[in-house]
Amino acid sequence: TGELTGISLKLLDNISKTTGLKFELVPVTSQEQLEEKILAKEIDLVSSTAYDYLLARKQGIALTRPYASSQYIMVVNKDANLDSIKNQRFALPKQIEYEEFAFEQILWYDNLQDCLDAVHSGQADYTYGNGYSIQYYLNNPKYRYLRSIPQSSNPYQVSLGVVQTENTDLLSILNKVIGSLSEEDLQSIIYQNTIQPQEYTLSNLV
């Protein structure tokens, strides 16, 4: 529909109601475009970023405390050989840093949906992402032949990223609001934006 939605935007709505801050949404279509806007100081805040200080330092952002945590999930093509994954084609979003396995064939895409499409079409054999995002997409009947495999690696944590300036007021305010949210409030925001009802069409049925 072109409407921007999601966990982080619902959180920003909550922050707006609590603090009176107003946020102008600036969509980006790739990691490169996001980094260009950060470098040019065209944005003040990144709504969703991995809670990774090394990555944040490279991007020039300061991290808030994490507001969500999820298990990593690997998604495989139904025809993938599960006996050995080393020589398989592995699709990854460009912003992710994945070092748990030494893959020989990594295919880089702009975002997770492009990775899932590559696995679905057979251009790649595997992809990898956090449980919330994977669950959201796998609700779509289009991906019904993909299989998900939980990973045993450290959980994925997500936070807001504040573009670094000398003024730390915004970072402080955001941390206070996130810290004041109850676990029930955070889980409600997450569940509302993870389990999405899907419209089943005649082509889905066929």
pLDDT digits (tens, 9 = 90+) for 44-56: 999 999 898 988 9
pLDDT of residue 96: 65
Q: What is the CA radius of gyration of the chain?
A: 18
**CA 126, CA 118: separation in Å to the nearest integer?**
9
DSSP 96: -
**CA 115, CA 118: separation in Å to the nearest integer?**
5
Q: Which two tokens stand for residue 89?
A: 């084609």
Strand partners, 159: 49
Please spell the DSSP secondary structure of 120-135, one letter per residue. HHTS-SEEEEEHHHHH
Q: Which two tokens stand for residue 35?
A: 């980094």
35-41: list long-range contacts, CB under 8 Å, 24+ apart. Answer: 35/59, 38/163, 41/163
**CA 87, CA 164: separation in Å to the nearest integer?**
40
pLDDT of residue 104: 63
Q: Which residue, among 183, 168, 163, 150, has the nearest Cα to 66 in the 3D structure?
A: 183
Spans in the chain with pLDDT lower than 50: none
